[in-house]
Chain A
């Protein structure tokens, strides 16, 4: 005899710009949904209790640990994960900067750092080093010692500023 599974919720959401719907249990975290239901394994699990930041994703403009958000909470939201960071023209400036400055080693924390840094650069174009360090305090990296990560974020911020200035100059007045 098969015991009935608990009620499943039907969730409609947008993930990396694509309309998506899925069934999930009421207790399932967004992290489980991303990794196990949708197969988006780029978002990593490091602790499953909100202390390592490896599962950082964007929910609208909010930076969240996907392990602390329910899959059901994604209803009607726009979710952005590491799989959606690179654009059609190639890598995001943050990804490019991480590669150039060797800001990753084992890489398990990298998706979380990139998403967290993206959340910062979405808000502020010129964050100080101190601001970057404190913003990234919720993301643990055991390999790099953080220095190269901070440099990579600074480099990406600078490039984004330059690109922004170029775009402003191109706008006809």
Chain B
């Protein structure tokens, strides 16, 4: 009887509870929330990339019948808002910094009237010199976008001045000395990566309602309701308690729905109009004026000994973060990811991001990852070619191992699953690649995504309560934008409490009901929030067992839970259902059963404090393989097979893990082959879904995903993060496959037919 209970729900492919409502049309996204008397909003956007606003005349718009409110920068306080750096206003106040920046907004009875009103607003601009190239933006004499930049509130404390949004220098060893080593083979190249749209299918949408007493509630498509509440409160000059943000089901995020761009606008309009106001952005607004992955130029130099050991790396990254920046510094914080999955004793990376008058940069799945990986993993193949080595073999030789210093330079790596991923990939290649025909090739690349260095110290919290009928309710600020976050939350709570998964429900992402949460992203929800849920569930379990112990006359240590019952391990007849215990809890000295994460969290940080400074969980690693062919006449790449092995630590929900990985690979294929926001003088030219080319079903290769499980030390039940890793190395995998197929190296992503053809023709000339 005393045998330890095996895991019941962890490791099971539990279907998502909301899948039913999503598949029947019943799921209500932010754009589906409706109230009687709701007004429609439209935003007037800047027609200049850089200009001073001389005047805004809204009289005619206000006089138009059916218009209830018009707001401009005059309605916005000087306090700036932003997710990481507070560098903008909800509506431009004195200057516009990019084409499409919100200048005014209207709420009217219907969209048509709002649109007409927008056209009646007269804005006088004084055009200012604009700069679009990040290198030019950093040069002396460039027009300065943010003269007050040093005074801005920023989450980090990076070097920043002029148009330099930030600069991060990551250095280990003695780089210059290392490159001077005699006999060292040195290879240098420059790589360019595009601006990529998150291209979630659900555009930004929000609806705001203002109570007669002035309290504002906003339902928004966001992954960070608490952060957005701050931006709305700052814009409206309200305390946090007077603003409520609710994130219903979110239709995809991929990094782009964490910052308040439209929410403060609908809130302002709703307050002024005294009616509910809603806004859904058009696809053109999404790609013209909302955030995208910053474009990046990477110069990379590596020194390798003839035996294949890489001893030195020197790299610079320059990112264009646009007029306002919704990244943590252009992903420059990811500077160390340019070192990749390798043990390189001497490395220096200087990552700089620059403000320009381009559209804003923001987070896109795995911020900083695909850019750096395209450079490093392309470079690794070029080194292998120089050394006449098998590309996987060279990677394996230099791969990070258990006991190595983490790429961040802080802590010793444990639980490295990289070697296992490479071995699995090799096995698959041996039996699945088939014949390689003319113009066909195989590309490989490694991927990594670092986990939170200390998942215990996080801006998250959870409450777990047990209802009188034995049902378990988890309150969490975490959103679910499709990754199955709420399912993992339920699985963790069900496992800890020993109740069937069906009995666990989630109340989530409502700033008035749920504990604070920093936001869903970075492949950290399972790893980080999963722990908080576990801790709160364990607290509830302790309270449950204490009550059961009193009623059964059995020591708490003797008790266990399973299938919704608490029972004595030594005497199976002594048992109570969770419902029976919960029913008496209210009248007991302990009160109703409510668990929080506070106690275990403190204890764990105390206990593991020393260990955590020494040990860090290895990143989530993966090995990718693509088989492809290149049409030498057109430059068109066709990928026939795509394989990835990924270390997920422990798959808490294997089917969802695989789903994340498949989706990530295809996201990466878009970045590799076709996705690129094209821009001219700050205006994005392909701001629609017929010229911004996303992957579609016919072009997708046969996908094979293998899960590798090297459990983590700190993640719940050994889990590591999953979602970012798979999209990171795809562009390099494809570029490496192209060189294998036709012998040309393409150093700019995406590898469009034009670029591949140009590379073929350039080779012909040389």
Contact = CB atoms under 8 A, between A and B. Distances in A.
A144 B24 contact: no
Contacts of B700: 133, 145-147
Contacts of B198: 142
Given A48-B283, A142-B694, A147 B66 contact: no
B345 to A, nearest CB: 38
B482 A105 contact: yes
Given A41-B25, A82-B25, A106 B200 contact: yes
Contact of A43 (B25, B280, B698): B25
The B interface is mostly helix, strand or loop, or mixed, namely loop
A3 interface: yes
Contact of A104 (B19, B666, B690): B19
Contacts of A83: 24-25
Contact of A107 (B66, B251, B667, B690): B251
Residue picked from A85, A139, A143, A146, most chain B C-beta under 10 Å = A143
Contacts of B666: 144-146
A46 B280 CA distance: 10
Contacts of B521: none
A2 B65 contact: yes
A144 B697 CA distance: 10
A104 B665 CA distance: 16
Given A46-B201, A108-B202, A150 B697 contact: yes
Contacts of A41: 25, 28, 31-32, 34
A105 B483 contact: yes
Given A1-B65, A45-B31, A142-B667, A106 B688 contact: no
B662 A141 contact: no
B266 to A, nearest CB: 17
Interface in B42-68: 65-66
Contacts of B694: 140, 142
B659 A105 contact: yes
Contacts of B184: none
Given A46-B203, A140-B201, A111 B25 contact: yes
B201 A141 contact: yes
Interface stretch (A7-15, A49-57, A68-76, A163-171): A49-57
Given A102-B659, A142-B667, A108 B201 contact: yes
Interface in B283-310: 283
Contacts of A82: 24-25
B24 A147 contact: no
B282 interface: yes
Interface residues of A, number: 59
B655 interface: yes
Interface in A117-161: 130, 132-134, 136-150
A39 B34 CA distance: 9
A140 B696 contact: yes
Contacts of B481: 106
A142 B22 contact: no
Nearest to A25: B112
A11 B18 CA distance: 34
B454 interface: no
B20 interface: yes
A117 to B, nearest CB: 11
Contacts of B102: none
Given A41-B25, A107-B22, A145 B250 contact: no
Contacts of B112: 25, 27
Given A47-B689, A48-B282, A108-B202, A142 B19 contact: no
Contacts of A23: none
A12 to B, nearest CB: 23
A36 B201 CA distance: 19
B252 A91 contact: no
B201 A144 contact: no
B591 interface: no
B662 to A, nearest CB: 4
Contacts of A100: 15
Interface string B3-22: 00000000001011011101
A114 interface: yes
B738 interface: no
Contacts of B664: 145
Among B19, B20, B254, max chain A CB count under 10 A is at: B19
A139 B698 CA distance: 11
B22 A104 contact: yes
Contacts of B762: none
B697 to A, nearest CB: 4
A106 B662 contact: no
B659 A49 contact: no
A17 B283 CA distance: 33
Given A98-B23, A107-B482, A147 B667 contact: no
Given A133-B697, A142-B254, A143-B663, A104 B23 contact: yes
A142 B252 contact: yes
Interface string B244-261: 000001111110000000
Given A142-B252, A143-B252, A148-B662, A106 B698 contact: no
B656 A102 contact: yes
B125 interface: no
B403 to A, nearest CB: 35
B298 to A, nearest CB: 26
Contact of B26 (A42, A99, A134): A42
A102 B39 CA distance: 37
A108 B19 contact: no
Nearest to A51: B689
Output the residue of A45, A130, A148 with the most chain B CB within 10 A. A45
Contacts of A25: 112
A86 B24 contact: yes
B333 interface: no
Interface in B191-213: 198-203
Nearest to A150: B697
B29 interface: yes
A101 B32 CA distance: 26
A137 B700 CA distance: 11
Interface in A59-84: 81-83
A43 to B, nearest CB: 7
Contacts of A130: 698
Contacts of B19: 98-99, 102, 104, 107
Given A47-B689, A49-B688, A142-B254, A95 B23 contact: yes
B109 to A, nearest CB: 9
Contacts of B201: 44, 46, 52, 54, 106, 108-109, 140-142
Given A107-B249, A108-B251, A148-B659, A140 B689 contact: yes
A105 B280 contact: no
Given A106-B482, A143-B663, A149-B697, A81 B25 contact: yes
B704 to A, nearest CB: 10
Given A45-B31, A47-B688, A108-B251, A99 B482 contact: no
Contact of A134 (B200, B667, B698): B698
Contacts of B66: 3
Given A86-B24, A102-B16, A143-B663, 19 more contacts: A1-B65, A27-B112, A45-B31, A45-B203, A47-B689, A49-B689, A51-B688, A83-B24, A95-B23, A99-B19, A104-B19, A106-B252, A106-B253, A133-B700, A137-B697, A142-B200, A145-B662, A145-B663, A149-B697
12 contacts: A1-B65, A41-B25, A51-B283, A51-B690, A52-B283, A81-B25, A85-B25, A102-B16, A102-B656, A102-B659, A140-B199, A142-B199
Q: Which 7 A-B residue pairs are closest in the complex by CB-CB distance?
A: A42-B25, A106-B482, A107-B22, A108-B251, A145-B666, A105-B482, A82-B25
Interface of A: 1-3, 25, 27, 35, 39-49, 51-52, 54, 81-83, 85-86, 91, 95, 98-100, 102, 104-111, 114, 130, 132-134, 136-150
